[in-house]
Amino acid sequence: MKRMSESIRWIKRMMDRIVFSLFGLFFRTREGANTILVIRTDGIGDLVFSLPFVRNLKEHFRDHRLVLVCRDAAAPLAQSDLFDSVVPFHYMQYRWNYFYRLIIISRIRTFTPSYTLYLSYHRQHIGDEMAILSGAERVVAFDGNDEIIHPDMRRANDRHYSDIVHADDHSPESEKYRLLLEKLGVPSGGELEKLKGSLGMSEGRERGLPEKAIVLTPGGSSALRRWPPERFAELGDRLAQAVGTKVILCGNQHEKALLAAIAGKMSKPCAVECDLPIETVAMLIKKAKLVVGNESGLVHIAASLGTPAVVILGGGHYSRYFPYGSAKIVNHKLDCYECNWKCPFPEPYCLTRISVEEVVMEVERIVGRDTVPT
In this prediction, residues 335-347 reach a mean pLDDT of 90
Q: What is the CATH number of the domain that holds 242?
A: 3.40.50.2000
- Which residues constitute the domain of residue 19? 2-183
Query: Any idea what the Cα angle at residue 345 is, between residues 339 and 346, rounded to 5°?
Result: 135
- Same domain for 280 and 331, yes or no, is yes
Judgement on whether residues 10 and 140 belong to the same structural domain of the protein: yes
pLDDT digits (tens, 9 = 90+) for 178-237: 999 999 999 866 444 445 445 666 555 566 678 889 999 999 888 899 999 999 999 999
Last residue of a domain, one of 183, 199, 218: 183
Angle, CA of 71, 73 and 91, to the nearest 5°: 40
Shared domain for 179 and 228, answered yes or no, is no
DSSP code at position 162: S
Q: How far apart are CA 78 and CA 279, in angstroms?
A: 9
Mark whether 157 and 219 lie in a shared domain: no
For the chain, how many structural domains are there in total? 2
Residues 162 and 288 in one domain: no
Final residue in a domain of this structure, among 124, 148, 183: 183
200 within some domain: no
Percent of the chain with pLDDT over 70: 89
Residue 160 DSSP label:
T
Q: Are residues 127 and 272 in the same domain?
A: no
**Are 215 and 110 part of one and the same domain?**
no
Residue 205 lies in a domain: no
Question: Does residue 204 sit within a domain?
Answer: no
Question: Are residues 172 and 235 both part of a single domain?
Answer: no
60 lies in the same domain as 97: yes
Mean pLDDT over each residue of the chain, to the nearest integer: 88
Report pTM: 0.88
Both 272 and 349 in one domain: the answer is yes
Residues 302, 290: Cα–Cα separation, whole Å: 9
